[in-house]
Amino acid sequence: MARNVGSLEAAHASVKLLVAEKLKYLVPMTIVFMTSYIGLTILAGFAKDLMGTRLIGSLNLGFALIAFNYLLSWGLAIVYGRIAADRFDPLAARAVADIARSGEAK
Amino acid sequence: MNPTLGIFVIILLITLGITYWAARRTSTTADFYAADSQLTACQNGFALAGDWCSAAAFLGFTGLTALYGMDGAFYALGPLVAFCTVLFLIAEPMRNTGKYTLGDIIRSRMQTRTSLLAAIVGTVVVNFAYLMPQMAGAGVLVRLLTGISYDWAVVFVGISMIVYVAFGGMLATTWVQIVKAVLMLSAGAIILVMILSLVHFNPLTLFAETEQKYGAKYLLPGNYLKNPFDQISLGLGYTLGLAGLPHVMTRFYTVPDAKTARRSVVWVMFLAGAFFAGTTIFGLAAADFVGQDVIRAADRGGNLTLPLLAQYLGGGKGTFGGDLMLGFVAAVAVATILAVVSALTLSTSSAIAHDFYVNWVKRGLVEVKQEVWLARAAAVVIGVLAIALGILAQGVNVAVLVILAICVAASANFPVLMLSLFWRRFNTGGVVGGMAVGLVSSVALAMIGPAMRGADALWPLVNPTVVSLPLGFLGAVLGTFAWGRDEENEQRFDAFLLQVHTGVASK
């Protein structure tokens, strides 16, 4: 019985570690895409002339920033997939193993 | 025979074949609500793309870009960025925690009947607010494309979706979405290649030529969304509202585990994102080749831009190639609507049968076989209701409802979902507070805004998300504190977190 409770607590501790690890990556990544996208809408609303700055021919800064946001979203998706597989999945597996041990002890 | 009708009849026969096949494989609740959770990441990615790209995306974004320039490109970008939120915060917890519905998550976190009821209200309101304009849009579109009357078009779309959902459940809905996504992406790829070959593979030509034709203002923001805060509301509504749309989020129950859910989001981001990016090119090309006057003459809102562009690229009006391309795009547009309304009908019948009747009224004491029949019956009733609402909505300004659906999803469902997953102290009072404040403020502000009252608006924004979303969060937090400490709920949170992040339920 004591081992059972101990493993459950170990599982909860592993999850806390996992949540902390997730926050470490997801908070900055969320800030990046929200700043980039909401920032773009704010610029569109309040800085039209800046958005109209010509870059190449008739292509202006606004369209370039829109294109950048597409690339950023796709890039973040791939990066997230990597981080999740390398960092989150092993920690989740550890918590599951802890739980399995508590199940055996029953 | 009219090529639109011909191509559409082929698509219809394929989807009915799928439904027949799916119906034979649908007998349990897990089959009906979640296709037995057996889809691969790639399949679910295509289905998500079919689910998320409504006619507003397929036809609307191209039209907006053609008529209003950069604002159309903004509209198209938001729905891709929205998936960042879903990927980082929602998809995996959703798969790990729930079974069939959004209500499942709230129920397993709070274990109170009041909070389940609040989740049901959130689901049903958002789904109907989304379903009604889709039905009205279907009526207008099918009439424009095939010539049958508005009422018959709504009835036809309604009956098709009832057949898919009631007989084939999630499996049929999924494959209808996959077929539609493949068709949509093929149409997009063909159109893109044809455009690029016309401009010698230099898309910058399109920018130069449209600027020359319509002036420098065309390529600047603010032609469609005049109020800067509406721009911001649009952005917030998309990025956070998607995560609160039950008919899209329940797609994560169709895969076996969180890893597959994650990979399916990456799939949809590339599939749908590429299409969204394409609509900006299509819109500029349509403004350049077809011309704004012709586009406006066909439909003031620009909804026929893509079919017209396809016709031009195929060789023009009256040519075989032109008619074929027009027919293809028009038929895909109708398939698009069918895929989206089916998902909405399925998600609403799950909320009514599974959340409301089985778990709320009967407290879970219903046999599996009986529940499947209930869910099928619910799909029929909801479909009939949707047909009636669609017919009543003719001529009514339904644009406000689309905004409302996304706004309520972002302001009521999203805060409640987020706080349920991440805040230990969050309790039943918070669920009710967040739902009520988010819902009421969205509806009230949209009703007194310019979308409903035109020049008499008491409030300047068409889309109130920028105000109603913080209010929804505030309501959830204040509701939590007003309810008082729920010690048992807070102690259960460790076990809940374990399930959210690993998928393992412990007692």
Write the CB contacts of A101 (distance below 8 Å, at least 6 apart in sequence): A3, A7, A10
Tell me, what's the pLDDT at B397?
66
Q: What is the pLDDT along chain B (507 residues), one digit of tens a residue?
A: 577 778 888 999 999 999 999 999 999 999 999 999 999 999 999 999 999 988 878 888 999 999 999 999 988 999 999 999 999 999 999 999 988 999 999 998 999 999 999 999 999 999 998 998 889 888 888 887 778 899 999 999 999 999 999 999 999 999 999 999 999 999 999 999 999 999 999 999 999 999 999 998 999 998 888 888 888 888 888 889 999 999 999 999 999 999 999 999 999 999 999 999 999 999 999 999 999 999 999 888 888 899 999 999 999 988 999 989 998 998 898 899 999 999 999 999 999 999 999 999 998 888 888 999 999 999 999 999 999 999 988 877 666 777 788 899 999 999 999 999 999 999 999 999 999 999 999 999 988 888 777 778 788 888 889 999 999 999 999 999 999 888 889 989 998 999 999 988 765
> What is the H or E stretch that residue B168 is in?
helix B150-198
Read off the pLDDT of residues B359-399 as tens digits, 9 standing for 90 and up.
999 988 888 889 999 999 999 999 999 999 999 888 776 66
Three-class HEC string of B459-484: CCCCCCHHHHHHHHHHHHHHHHHHHC
Rounded Cα distance between A69 and B483, Å, is: 41
Tell me, what's the pLDDT at A2?
44
Taking the Cβ of residue B507 and every Cβ of chain A, the question of whether any pair is shorter than 8 Å is answered with: no
- The per-residue DSSP string of chain A comes to -HHHHHHHHHHHHHHHHHHHHHHHHHHHHHHHHHHHHHHHHHHHHH-HHHHT-EEETTEEHHHHHHHHHHHHHHHHHHHHHHHIIIIIHHHHHHHHHHHHHHHHH-
Taking the Cβ of residue B221 and every Cβ of chain A, the question of whether any pair is shorter than 8 Å is answered with: yes
Taking the Cβ of residue A41 and every Cβ of chain B, the question of whether any pair is shorter than 8 Å is answered with: yes
Rounded Cα distance between B23 and B175, Å, is: 12
Q: Domain span at residue B315?
A: 3-394
Which candidate from A18, A37, A80 shows the least CB-CB separation from B88?
A80
Taking the Cβ of residue B42 and every Cβ of chain A, the question of whether any pair is shorter than 8 Å is answered with: no
Which candidate from A34, A66, A74 shows the least CB-CB separation from B239?
A34
What is the chain A residue with the closest CA to B266? A77
Tell me, what's the pLDDT at A4?
59
Rounded Cα distance between B196 and B206, Å, is: 10
Task: Band the pLDDT of A106: cuts 50, 70, 90.
Answer: very low
CA atoms within 13 A on the CB side of B277: 21
B506 and A63 within 8 Å at the Cβ level: the answer is: no
Which candidate from A46, A58, A85 shows the least CB-CB separation from B228?
A46
Tell me, what's the pLDDT at B507?
54
| Residue B103 placed within a domain | yes
Query: Which CATH number covers residue B94?
Result: 1.20.1730.10
User: Quick one: which of B354, B349, B304, B350 has its CA closest to B329?
Assistant: B304
Read off the pLDDT of residues A47-91 as tens digits, 9 standing for 90 and up.
888 999 999 988 999 999 999 999 999 999 999 999 999 999 999
Residue numbers in A near B239 (CB within 8 A): 34, 37-38
Tell me the three state secondary structure of residue B215: coil
Separation in Å, CA of A87 to nearest CA in chain B: 13
Contact predicate B404/B445, CB 8 Å = no
Tell me, what's the pLDDT at A1?
42
Rounded Cα distance between B495 and B506, Å, is: 6
Taking the Cβ of residue A68 and every Cβ of chain B, the question of whether any pair is shorter than 8 Å is answered with: no
Tell me, what's the pLDDT at A105?
47
| Residue B399 placed within a domain | no
Tell me the three state secondary structure of residue B447: helix
A63 and B208 within 8 Å at the Cβ level: the answer is: no
Q: Taking residues A6-32, report their average pLDDT.
A: 90
Residue numbers in B near A11 (CB within 8 A): 498, 506
Q: How far is CA B331 from CA B5, B32, B47, B132, B327, in A?
A: 7, 27, 18, 21, 6
Tell me, what's the pLDDT at B273?
96
pLDDT reading at A104 higher than 60:
no
Write the CB contacts of B99 (distance below 8 Å, at least 6 apart in sequence): B33, B34, B253
Separation in Å, CA of A22 to nearest CA in chain B: 9
Residue numbers in A near B229 (CB within 8 A): 45
A56 and B265 within 8 Å at the Cβ level: the answer is: no
A59 φ/ψ angles, rounded to the nearest 5 degrees: -70, 125
**In B215-257, which residue ranges form alpha helices assigned H by DSSP?**
228-241, 246-249
Taking the Cβ of residue B84 and every Cβ of chain A, the question of whether any pair is shorter than 8 Å is answered with: yes
| Residue B61 placed within a domain | yes
A58 and B207 within 8 Å at the Cβ level: the answer is: yes
| Residue B421 placed within a domain | no
Please state the domain extents for chain A: 2-105
Which candidate from B73, B220, B498 shows the least CB-CB separation from A15?
B498
Taking the Cβ of residue A7 and every Cβ of chain B, the question of whether any pair is shorter than 8 Å is answered with: no
| Residue B408 placed within a domain | no
User: What total of structural domains would you count in chain B?
Assistant: 1
What's the predicted TM-score (pTM) here?
0.94
Contact predicate B158/B383, CB 8 Å = yes
Task: Band the pLDDT of A9: cuts 50, 70, 90.
Answer: confident
